[in-house]
Amino acid sequence: MGRRKIEIEMVTDSSTRQVTFSKRRTGLFKKANELAILCAVQIAIIVFSPGGKPFSFGHPNVESIVHRFRNQDRTPDEGTSKGAESRDENTTDDNLNQKLLDLLKRLNAEEKRGEMLEKMVKAKRAVKGQPPVDQLGLPELGELKRSFEDLRRKLRDRIDDMEAISSLLLLAEH
């Protein structure tokens, strides 16, 4: 069946209109986020639902974009200290956005790594001829539980190490 072109006109049914609004709003915010990331732009969108409820999206945030928009027609002589603060704020926002993107990339990589490890565990179980977990007996489940607890302890230690390193790096930057 696929997608078909629809004529752009007001949706008459109120429940259908609300569903359409929700789906289109999500798509609009997603596209705005992509535009902000790909083109390194600052963007703000404010929409009101058919019921009058406001929704907003901003990159880095709506307030800073609206403040910048409202103050764009001022001459450079007016409030030069504010201009310096705004530049510092924008630089800080850019740095924070870059750190967020880096963390999201790391999270994505770790999720992929987790999926890969899960596949390896399944493959290893299949090679050893071990039955699936739901077919294990009480002694095997106890052993499996101990191995998971050991893995959890090792992961917690690794996470603590990474947090400590992260904190040291942040302190070194300042």
Highest mean pLDDT pick, 16-25, 85-94, 112-121, 125-134: 16-25
What are the tens digits of pLDDT across the range 13-62? 988 999 999 999 999 999 999 999 999 999 999 999 888 899 999 988 88
> CB of 102 within 8 A of CB of 38?
no
Q: What pLDDT shows up at residue 26?
A: 92
- Can you name the residues that pair with 55 across neighbouring β-strands? 47
What's the whole-model pTM score? 0.41
In the numeric block, the tokens 């390194």 are attached to: 40
Q: Give residue 68's pLDDT.
A: 86
Which residue from 18, 24, 82, 80 is spatially nearest to 50, judged by alpha carbons?
18
Q: Which amino acid is at 137?
A: G
* Mean pLDDT of the 121-145 span: 78
Please report, rounded to a whole number, the percentage of residues in the chain having pLDDT higher than 70.
85
Token pair listed for 15:
């429940």
Which residue from 93, 29, 49 is spatially nearest to 67, judged by alpha carbons?
93
Cβ–Cβ under 8 Å, residues 45 and 29:
yes
Q: Kindly report the backbone phi and psi dihedral angles of residue 58, in degrees, each rounded to the nearest multiple of 5, phi listed first.
A: -145, 145
* pLDDT of 1: 59
CA 103, 104, 109: angle at the middle one, nearest 5?
95
Rounded to an integer, what distance in angstroms lies between the CA atom of residue 31 and that of residue 38?
10
- Average per-residue pLDDT for the chain: 83
Q: pLDDT, tens digit, for every residue of 91-113? A: 677 778 788 888 888 898 899 99
Residue 155 confidence (pLDDT):
92
What is the predicted pLDDT for the residue at 101?
A: 84
Match 């699936």 to its residue by tokens: 132
pLDDT-derived band of residue 79, with 50, 70 and 90 as boundaries? Answer: very low
Give the CB-side neighbour count of residue 100, counting CA atoms within 13 A: 9
